[in-house]
Amino acid sequence: MSSQHHNPELTVFLVDDDAAVRDALGLLLGIQGYRIALFANAEDFIKAWRPAWLGCLLIDIRMPGMGGLELQQRLKQDGCDLPVIIITGHGDVDLARQAFRADAHDFLEKPLDEDKLIGAIDEAFVAVRALATASARRASAQALFPALTPREREVMELVVAGRHNRDIAVVLDISARTVEVHKARLMDKLGVDNIADLVRMRLLADPE
C-alpha cells in the first residue's frame, strides 16, 4: 500500500517511551512515504509542540511520567486539535475507551496491525484536511467583509435574517430599488450570486 501522495505538510507525531517501537514505526511509516517526528515522552512533545503543526498524534497509553491519556487531556486544554490515535497494550481496553470518550480519533492494540495503523493515520489526515479547508474558507469570508460599506452590511444582515426588499426598505427608510442596488453591490463584493450562498458565507465568517 504505497502512500507517496501524502501532503508533505502533514506529519505523524509518535510519542512512545519504547525505543524499539519508535524505531520500528519510524522505519515502517517512512517507507510508506509519511513524514514522522519521534518523541520519547509526553513532556518532550509538550515542550516542542507548535500550534502551526499539522498531522496526527500516535500516543502510547502507558508511559513513565505523563501517560497517553493525560497528554491527550493536556493538549486539548492547550488548544491542540491534532487528531489523536491511542496505542494500547493488551488489557488496556478500558483505558482506550476513556481515551475515545475524550475525543481520541482511534485506538489500536499492540502488536500493531500495519494496515489498521495506515488506515487510522489516513483517516486522521482526512479529518485534518477538512478542518484546514473549513478554516481557510472562514478566513477568506472574513477577509471580504471589511470591503462592505456600513449600509451594505445593514442590508446584508437583514437579507440573511430572511427579510424581503420591501421590509428592508421600511426598516432602513430607503426605497426598495436602493435596497436592490445595495444587495447587488454587496453580493458582487463577496463573490456570491444567490441568497443561499450569501447566508452560508455569513454563517461561515461568524458562526455565532
> What is the reported pLDDT for 156?
96
- What's the grid cell of residue 40? 520519547
Give me the pLDDT at residue 110, please: 85
Cα 186 from Cα 190, distance rounded (Å): 6
> Please, where in the chain does CATH 3.40.50.2300 lie?
10-138
Q: Which fold has domain 10-138?
A: Rossmann fold (3.40.50)
CB count in 10 Å sphere of residue 86: 28
Mean pLDDT of 54-70: 92
Res 175 pLDDT > 60: yes
* Single-letter amino acid code for the residue at 186: L
Residue 3 has pLDDT above 50, yes or no: no
Arithmetic mean of pLDDT, 43-66: 94
> What is the distance between the alpha carbons of residues 106 and 202, in angstroms, rounded to a whole number?
34
pLDDT at 158 over 80: yes
Task: Supply 22's cell numbers.
Answer: 519508535
What is the structure's pLDDT at 90?
A: 66
Q: Where in the chain is the domain with CATH 1.10.10.10?
A: 148-205
Task: State mean pLDDT over 165-184.
Answer: 96
Measured between alpha carbons, how far is 7 from 14 in angstroms, rounded to an integer?
18
Q: How many Cα atoms sit within 13 Å of 84 on the Cβ side?
A: 27
Is the pLDDT confidence value at 96 over 60?
Answer: yes
C-alpha cell at 135: 478554516
Check pLDDT > 80 for residue 47. Answer: yes
Given this model, what pLDDT does residue 103 score?
81
pTM equals 0.69
| Residue 180 confidence (pLDDT) | 96
For 78, list phi and psi in degrees, rounded to 5: -80, 0
Q: Which amino acid is at 62?
A: R
Query: Residue 96: which H helix or E strand, with range?
Result: helix 93-101
pLDDT of the residue at 97: 74
DSSP state of 113: P
The predicted pLDDT at position 1 comes to: 42
The alpha-carbon radius of gyration of the chain (Å, integer) is 24
Tell me which fold the domain 148-205 belongs to: Arc Repressor Mutant, subunit A (1.10.10)
The mean pLDDT value for 33-43 works out to: 96
* Mean residue pLDDT across the chain: 89
Q: Three cell numbers at 43?
A: 513532556
